[in-house]
Amino acid sequence: MSDQLVWARAHTNIALVKYWGKADAKLIIPQNSSLSLTLDHFYTDTGVQFDSQLSADQLFIDDVLAPVDEKVANCLAVVRQLAGIKTHALIRSYNHVPNAAGLASSASAFAALATAACKAAGLTLSKAELSMVARRGSGSATRSIFGGFVEWHAGDSDTTSFAQPIEDPVQMDIKMITVVLNRHPKKISSRMGMQSSVNTSPYYAAWKQQAAKDLVNIKAAILQANFNMVGHIAETNAMRMHALTLSADPSFTYFNADSLEAMHIVKSLRENGTNCYFTMDAGPNVKIICQSKDEATIINALYRHFTEDKIVVCKPGPGVTIIKDPR
Ligand code: DP6
């Protein structure tokens, strides 16, 4: 075991075919397979050291002592079990998100934590195995182990639910413009929201069937470098996911008025010949999928409604890596 902090850097990812619902809440086995794009702009650096002097795990986020929540505890428990140790850990985590944009995602956080913790515990795991450890912290983190387009195979057990790279480096010209519409923590977490959708939406079975089709089709579109097909599938899949929140009992939504405005801008740009599409996750921020040639047109259209500090342009990003102490 290392007597120094071992550091890992992981980038966040945005799902183009969403994960929305668990088949096993403890192991975080999803109801459906999903596919994402890892982004270059937003990342987390996390350092871990197992220290026999510690009587409890200690977590610092951006140098501030933070509570060790259930997700962190679960992820560390898996690492300790795999390594056959009981030692507590010191964890230091830094989120690199422009202007504290409220995009700090659990995806980059748990991919970095799993990777640093496994290495610090003396484990040598494949990336697929690391993705299983990251999954035990947060589902979307499974995919942030890899760069570019990534699939998370749903599987039906701990060892069959893992991520696999689909294309890295990404061949097609694809960018994601993030429109930051809320910096505050969401009221309904993705964990609660997806559980409620599984339990109460009468459309859940249809979602599962459709998501399976979307996955097959988007993989074909990636293989053919067909940007428009990728964008179209991503947009329709996202709206079908959000239909599960509207059809839950009680119903809820992650849209706010600005999200609707941003979606409207994308649709009218498209009607006027600009190839762009949107996707949204468990919060009001809208992500616009586009190509480099249209970036300026889209940003100009957004500037009519949103200020410059709300707009961040991302490219495909890399998978997780072990890094030197970044401080
Ligand atoms: C809408 O990975 O945050 O972003 O597994 O409960 O931690 P937990 O949920 P989380 O959910 C992500 C939901 C999503 C879609 C996606 O990333 O696939």
Give the CATH number of the domain where residue 272 resides: 3.30.70.890
Write down how long the chain is. Answer: 327
**274 half-sphere exposure, CB direction, 13 A CA radius:** 22
Max Cα distance, the chain (Å): 64
Q: What span, in angstroms and rounded, lies between the C-alpha atoms of 44 and 113?
A: 9
Same domain, 161 and 45: yes
- Please give the pLDDT value at position 197: 98
Relative to the CA of 107, which ligand 1 atom is closest? 2
CA-closest candidate to residue 230, choices 36, 19, 20, 30: 36
Same domain, 163 and 179: no
CA 166 to chain centre: 16
Whether residue 309 is contained in a domain is answered as yes
Domain that holds residue 15: 6-170+317-323
Same domain, 248 and 166: no
CA 161 to chain centre: 16
Residues 22, 23, 29, 32, CA torsion sign: negative
Which residue's alpha carbon is nearest to atom 14 within ligand 1?
Answer: 281
Which residue's alpha carbon is nearest to atom 12 within ligand 1?
Answer: 140
298 DSSP assignment: H
Helix orientation angle between 227-246 and 204-223, rounded to the nearest 10 degrees: 170
Same domain, 93 and 43: yes
Count of structural domains within the chain: 2
Are 228 and 218 in contact by the 8 Å Cβ rule? The answer is no
Q: What span, in angstroms and rounded, lies between the C-alpha atoms of 183 and 40?
A: 20
Same domain, 134 and 198: no
Are 51 and 227 in contact by the 8 Å Cβ rule? The answer is no
Whether residue 1 is contained in a domain is answered as no
Which residue's alpha carbon is nearest to atom 1 within ligand 1?
Answer: 281
Name, in order, each residue with C-beta under 8 angstroms of 270's C-beta and a sequence gap of 6 or more: 276, 277
Same domain, 241 and 204: yes
Whether residue 74 is contained in a domain is answered as yes
With DSSP H G I counted as helix, E B as strand and the rest as coil, what are the percentages for the chain, rounded to 5?
Answer: 40, 25, 35
CATH number at residue 16: 3.30.230.10
Whether residue 259 is contained in a domain is answered as yes
Look up the pTM and report it. Answer: 0.96
The token pair that represents 57 in the structure block: 């795990």
| Ligand 1 pocket, residues with Cβ under 6 angstroms | 15, 18-20, 28, 34, 106, 138-140, 190-191, 281-282
Same domain, 35 and 104: yes
- Please give the pLDDT value at position 102: 53
Relative to the CA of 281, which ligand 1 atom is closest? 1
Same domain, 33 and 118: yes
Q: What span, in angstroms and rounded, lies between the C-alpha atoms of 171 and 261?
A: 31
Same domain, 215 and 125: no
Same domain, 16 and 103: yes
How many angstroms is it from 197 CA to the middle of ligand 1? Answer: 13
Same domain, 239 and 165: no
Same domain, 15 and 135: yes
The tens-digit pLDDT sequence of the chain (327 residues) is 666 999 999 999 999 999 999 999 999 999 999 999 999 989 999 999 999 999 999 999 999 999 999 999 999 999 999 999 999 999 999 998 765 455 657 999 999 999 999 999 999 999 999 999 999 999 999 999 999 999 999 999 999 999 999 999 999 999 999 999 876 666 899 999 999 999 999 999 999 999 999 999 999 999 999 999 999 999 999 999 999 999 999 999 999 999 999 999 999 999 999 999 999 999 899 999 999 999 999 999 999 999 988 899 999 999 999 999 999
Q: What span, in angstroms and rounded, lies between the C-alpha atoms of 134 and 39?
A: 17
Q: What span, in angstroms and rounded, lies between the C-alpha atoms of 82 and 121?
A: 9
Element (H, E) at 178: strand 175-179
